[in-house]
Every structure is written in structure tokens, then in C-alpha cells.
Structure 1
């Protein structure tokens, strides 16, 4: 994505990549942001849009029980 956008505007390319890579981190702070997708009930799955882009895959790196002290 960066290479594609950088050919037109290098600063916009950097901002776009930064926005896309930081968006999943916001889930740690605000796990209920974004549109809730009802078709996945009872699981609480949400859609997060970044600009005109949508991430289709987020890799979960770790899980823990909510009763753990973290």
C-alpha cells in the first residue's frame, strides 16, 4: 500500500500506513469501538474502518482470562 500511494504523495502514504497499523491497537483501549456485526451473535464481532480501508484479518497474539490481574 505504501509503495502504491508513495508514487503520488509520500506523506499521505506514511500517514495511511500509520493509521492502518495503529488501528488494531485501539482495540486494547476501546474493545467495543466500531460497528457490531449482528450475524456473528452471540460473539461480539466488530468492524473497524480506517479511512477508506477495512482490515479483514487481525491476528490474536495472546489471550487471558478476565479474572487475571493485568
Structure 2
């Protein structure tokens, strides 16, 4: 298996960093590192996250990393990181990928 970040997930990471940086630059860097490294454990345990039935037949799952939700999809030999956001954030995203 390999990990692949979608452009939306990468943009989410930048957006979260830009939101936190003005108030707490060190915390922003720490959170981004934590979120960027969190999917690595999916390589060993890809089905560790809660399955989201609403996306069937796709296998979309979610994990919680601290105060953040990360959604990913298992497709053949690739784990696609779809989106991530703070759990208290308004999540009116129009699509996962």
C-alpha cells in the first residue's frame, strides 16, 4: 500500500496552518506535522478508521487525530487522504475528492 494526498487534503493542511499561525506559530507547525504524519500508521492498519457507510461502494473511513478529523479512502493498493478539518469546524464540503 501507498499513501496519496489529494489536492483538497493538501489544501486543508495549508488552510489549517494559515488559520493557526497568526495566533500560535509553534503550535501551528506542531499540529501540521502531527496531521501530516498521522496517515503513516494507515500503511500498517488501513482499516483502523471508522467506515462511513454513506460513501458505499467506496471504502471511505475516518480517524480522529487530536481535535481533527481525517477522511481517507482505501482503493486497491492506495490509501487516498481525502480531507481534514478541526472537529469544531463547519464541514459543509461539497465532495470528498
Q: Aligned residues, how many?
A: 62
Question: Which structure is higher in RCO with an 8 Å CA cutoff and minimum separation 6?
Answer: 2
Unaligned runs of 5+ in 1: 65-70
TM-score normalised by structure 2 residue count: 0.46
RMSD: 3.0
Shift of 1:8: 0.6
TM-score normalised by structure 1 residue count: 0.59
- Higher alpha-carbon Rg: 1
2: CA distance between counterparts of 1:20 and 1:37? 20
Deviations 1:9-67 (A, max 9, x none): 111101111111111111012224333556678x875421112111234586x718xxx
Q: Which moved more, 1:11-20 or 1:49-58?
A: 49-58
1:63 to 37, 54, 77: 77
